[in-house]
């Protein structure tokens, strides 16, 4: 089967989430990814929950389709081996704290000397320069610094972060896009380049209409729970047995909803006859919608609104999602054999390319599993040289 990125060679110095998510997407699309890990320890996520029989589900999900080599980058021999791999690579990706990779002797300037056309991508919390560049970051910090946390939750409560590490994942996707753009540029010009993607930048760029609400309207955006800053009724509504999300973002959808509710006359009410007016009278329109939804079960509401083409959903649990027929139809629930654990379900790849679909079949590597293979087949090291590196604890 053809792969969109077949033949692309990536040297991966990433760890934890944002970087590994980026390189996983590229690996699924056919790129050859060599993941460099610390001797004896590896990626931090090898010790992240959930862990069963010594295998981390966190690590296993984010590192499929990659090969693992262990290198002690603090030794001259480890650095020399890393530079040899950089000479082999088309793309290098790293997500150390700003400045760390330079201390290891593997900065863009150094790598460019051995591979002038390299595309070198750095992921960090705040970028490689600026007043925050030395500040440590994980997802929760990036969400807070980028404005997402402040805007999440209910107005009467403290801010909360989005549950999963969305800033990590989104930064990984943005970096993958930047890498593909740089590859296109290199194809046209022969020039490589440096890429600097920051988690704070990414989060700030995803605040939807919050910034123009401030800069155009002079209003400070606040937490609004499950409602929408631009539309109403657009919220979560209680039912007989739970709650559903209903999203009516225009007059046509609202008209369909009130017809189902048996109250078509609401469209003649000046409070509700346009989206801006409904937003201005959000509490009143929400009360009317919830008065109706409370008369039905969640399943009934979902069925009625689906039939009318009105966006609606119950909040699905993870246990429901892994059995969801739509996700299975889209090949978004995959199974992989995890050594010592057995068959485990993971999320698939959301990129659906007709001619060159992603391949998610190859499991994540054990720590250093491909060290010998990479040294021998990629770098041409002899058995004696490999054994000497092992004796020196370089690998």
* Residues known to be catalytic: 168
Query: Which helix (DSSP H) or strand (DSSP E) does residue 389 occupy?
Result: helix 383-391
d(CA 60, CA 38): 17
- Burial of 13 from C-beta contacts in 10 A (0-12 / 13-18 / 19+): buried
Q: In whole angstroms, what is the distance from residue 312 CA to residue 294 CA? A: 15
Query: What is the C-alpha to C-alpha distance for residues 230 and 247, in angstroms, rounded to an integer?
Result: 11
Judging by DSSP bridges, how do beta strands 312-313 and 243-247 pair with one another? Answer: antiparallel
User: What is the DSSP annotation of 316-384?
Assistant: PPHHHHTT-HHHHHTT-EEEEEETTTEEEEEE------SSS-----SPPPPTTTTHHHIIIIIS---HH
Distance CA 50, CA 63 (A): 15
Cis peptide before 233 (omega within 30 of 0): yes
Burial of 204 (0-12, 13-18, 19+ CB in 10 A): middle
Task: Measure the CA–CA gap between 86 and 107, rounded to whole angstroms.
Answer: 11
Specify whether the backbone of 230 is left (phi greater than 0), alpha (psi in -120 to 50) or beta: alpha
C-alpha–C-alpha distance, residues 277 and 86, integer Å:
59
Query: What sign has the CA pseudo-torsion 206, 211, 216, 219?
Result: positive
Q: How far apart are CA 86 and CA 376, in angstroms?
A: 16
Map 171-237 to HEC letters. Answer: HHHHHHHHHHHHHHHHHHHCCCEEEEEEHHHHHHHCCCCHHHHHHHHCCCCCCCCCCCCCCCCEEEE
């Amino acid at each position: 089967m053809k792969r969109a990125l077949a033949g692309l060679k990536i040297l991966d110095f990433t760890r934890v989430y944002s970087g590994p998510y980026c390189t996983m997407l590229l690996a699924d699309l056919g790129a050859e990814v060599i993941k460099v890990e610390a001797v004896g320890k590896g990626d931090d996520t090898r010790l992240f929950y959930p862990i069963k029989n010594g295998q981390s589900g966190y690590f296993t999900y984010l590192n499929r389709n990659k090969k693992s080599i262990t290198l002690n980058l603090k030794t001259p021999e480890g650095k020399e081996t890393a530079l040899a791999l950089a000479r082999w690579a088309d793309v290098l990706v790293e997500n150390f704290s700003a400045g760390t990779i330079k201390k290891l002797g593997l900065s863009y300037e150094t790598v460019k000397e051995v591979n002038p056309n390299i595309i070198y991508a750095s992921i960090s919390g705040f970028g490689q320069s600026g007043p925050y560049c030395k500040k440590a970051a994980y997802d929760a910090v990036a969400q807070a610094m980028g404005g997402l946390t402040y805007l999440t939750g209910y107005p009467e409560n403290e801010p909360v972060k989005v549950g999963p590490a969305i800033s990590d994942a989104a930064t990984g996707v943005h970096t993958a896009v930047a890498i593909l753009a740089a590859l296109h540029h290199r194809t046209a010009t022969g020039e490589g380049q440096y890429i600097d993607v920051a988690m704070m930048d990414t989060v700030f760029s995803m605040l939807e209409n919050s910034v123009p609400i401030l800069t155009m309207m002079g209003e400070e955006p606040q937490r609004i729970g499950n409602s929408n800053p631009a539309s109403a009724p657009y919220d979560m509504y209680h039912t007989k047995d739970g709650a559903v999300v209903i999203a009516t973002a225009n007059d046509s959808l609202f008209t369909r909803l009130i017809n189902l509710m048996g109250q078509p006359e609401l469209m003649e009410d000046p409070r509700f006859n346009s989206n801006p007016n409904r937003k201005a009278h959000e509490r009143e329109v929400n009360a009317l919608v919830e008065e109706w939804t409370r008369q039905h079960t969640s399943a009934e509401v979902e069925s009625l609104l689906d039939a009318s083409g009105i966006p609606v959903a119950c909040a699905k649990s993870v246990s429901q999602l892994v059995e969801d027929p739509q996700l299975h139809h889209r090949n978004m629930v995959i199974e992989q054999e995890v050594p010592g654990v057995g068959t485990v379900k993971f999320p698939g790849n959301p990129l659906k390319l007709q001619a060159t679909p992603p391949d998610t079949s190859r499991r994540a590597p054990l720590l250093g599993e491909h060290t010998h293979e990479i040294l021998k087949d990629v770098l041409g090291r002899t058995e004696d040289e490999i054994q000497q590196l092992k004796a020196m604890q370089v690998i």
